[in-house]
Amino acid sequence: MLNSLMLFVGITLMYSTPLVFAALGGVVSERSGVTNIGIEGMMTIGAVTGATVGYYSGSAWVGFFAAGLAGGVIALLHAFASITCKADQTISGIAINLIGPGVALFVCRLLFDGATMSLPVPHKIPKVFGSLNSKAFQNLNVDVTVVIAFVLAVFIWFFLYKTKWGLHIRAVGEHPAAADTMGLNVYKIRYICVLVSGILAGLGGASMTLAIIPQFTPTAISGQGFIALAAVIFGKWTPHGAYAACLLFGAAQALTVTLGGGRFAVPSSILAMLPYLITILILILFVGKSSAPKASGQPYEKDAR
Partner 1 sequence: MDKAIKILKKPLTMTLIAVFFGFIVAGIILAAAGYPPVHSLSVLFDGVFSSPKHISNVIIKSTPIILTGIGVAFAFKTGLFNIGAEGQFIMGCVASTVVGILFDFPPVIQIPLVVLAGVAAGALYGGIAGFLKAKFGIHEVLTSIMLNWIALYFSNYICTLNRFHKPDTIGTYPINRSGYTMILGNYKTTEAGKAALAQNEFLRSTVLKTDVNVGIIIAVILAVFIWFLLYKTAKGFELRAVGFNKSAAEFSGIYVNRNILHSMLISGAICGLAASLYITGNSPHGIATLAAFENTGFNGLSVCLIAASSPIGCIFAGLLFGGLIYGGQSLQYEVGAPSEIINIVIGVIVFFVALTRIIPPLVDRFSKGGKKHA
Chain residues that interact with partner 1, rule: CB under 8 A: 77, 81, 85-88, 90-92, 94-103, 105-106, 109-110, 114, 218-219, 222-223, 226-227, 229-230, 233-234, 267, 269-270, 272-273, 275-277, 279-280, 283-284, 287-290
Q: How far is the CB of 122 from partner 1 (least distance, A)?
A: 26
Provide CB contacts within 8 A for 157, sequence distance 6+: 238, 239, 240
| Alpha carbons 93 and 274: distance in angstroms, whole number | 28
The answer to whether 268 touches 53, Cβ cutoff 8 Å, is no
Q: How far is the CB of 243 from partner 1 (least distance, A)?
A: 17
Which segments of the chain does DSSP mark as H helices, in order? Answer: 2-31, 39-57, 60-79, 89-111, 144-162, 164-174, 176-181, 186-207, 224-234, 239-259, 268-282
Q: How far is the CB of 149 from partner 1 (least distance, A)?
A: 21
CA 263, 266, 267: angle at the middle one, nearest 5?
115
The answer to whether 94 touches 38, Cβ cutoff 8 Å, is yes
Nearer Cβ to partner 1 (5/98): 98
Nearer Cβ to partner 1 (125/251): 251
Q: How far is the CB of 230 from partner 1 (least distance, A)?
A: 5
| Alpha carbons 287 and 250: distance in angstroms, whole number | 18
Nearer Cβ to partner 1 (116/258): 116
| Alpha carbons 96 and 76: distance in angstroms, whole number | 11
The answer to whether 235 touches 241, Cβ cutoff 8 Å, is yes
Q: How far is the CB of 168 from partner 1 (least distance, A)?
A: 26
CA 166, 172, 174: angle at the middle one, nearest 5?
100
Nearer Cβ to partner 1 (5/270): 270
Q: How far is the CB of 65 from partner 1 (least distance, A)?
A: 24
Nearer Cβ to partner 1 (73/167): 73
Q: How far is the CB of 144 from partner 1 (least distance, A)?
A: 29
Nearer Cβ to partner 1 (146/229): 229
Nearer Cβ to partner 1 (100/198): 100
Q: Strand pairing partners for 143?
A: 127
